Amino acid sequence: MSYFDGPKLLDFKNSPPHLQFNKYVLTGYRPLSTYRDCLRSLFYLHNELGNIYTHGVPFFCFLLFLPVSIPWAEVDEWWIGVVHYLACLSPTLCSVFYHLFMNHESGAPTYDTLLCFDMFGVCLVNTFGALPIIYITLLCYPFCRRVAMLGYLLLSGYGVYCALRARSNVHRLRSFAWQALFRFVLFMLRLIGAGRGSPASLRLYLSMDMLALLGGLVNISRLPECFSPGRFDYWCNSHQIMHIMVILSIVHLHWGMLEDLTWLKGFHCP
């Protein structure tokens, strides 16, 4: 058998029980496989291939091109660029590992570990992505800035705990609600003039959160496959749409941070 020849794919009823989480995806399931065979699944069509590549390709693009676009030499707070870079990479990298190896022959225990790893990546982008925003928004209020950053880290830790214990997509989405509310308060501070930052970045950050929320809602509603089971088994199902929304959300985060970094280099607190 050629390296590019796939195994016989399974239907929903005959797939491993821990992979039966979307009853509207009827075919294209990989059988339990070794690590080598999981890697080989990069080269043949199955119902997780779109999920792998919709995050795998952006991961390599972010890995290579984001460092070039960050104005490292012009920003005194070098940690902002590092934390932002890690925030953009983490969800895509963790997602690729989850979708690529989720059918490993060791079964449900490995799947649960990979799912936790995937959720950890989502938690990292929510945490690392927001810390530079908090810092810049409260730039002229050092004490409030330290308290807010510490509070957000504690809130993120609670979000990680809830996300890792969640048993459904709805509960996982709820795990990040408090972090989203915290960011919304920051954005309102900017809107009323009490917070700092580039005026152009606020619209981008709001778009970032709206895209992420929309992607999560599409994922839990199983749109569009719930209307036509089997038609979207390989392409354009809810999880792939969510992946694309997540990538667009990360891109808006990056654009917003570039606006803030450009603003930061020319601003001094009164």
Query: Does 239 show up as a binding residue in the annotation?
Result: yes
Q: DSSP string of 162-176?
A: HHHH--SHHHHHHHT
Residue 186, phi then psi, degrees to nearest 5 = -60, -45
Instruction: Identify residue 75 by its one-letter amino acid code.
Output: V
Query: Does 243 show up as a binding residue in the annotation?
Result: yes
User: Does residue 204 contact residue 129 with C-beta atoms inside 8 Å?
Assistant: no
Q: DSSP string of 80-141?
A: HHHHHHHHHHHHHHHHHHHHHHTTBTT-HHHHHHHHHHHHHHHHHHHHHHHHHHHHHHTTT-
Please enumerate in sequence order all residues whose Cβ is within 8 A of that of 91, keeping only pairs 6 or more positions apart, or say none: 55, 121, 122, 124, 125, 246, 250
Binding residues are: 99, 239, 243
Binding residues for Zn(2+) are: 99, 239, 243
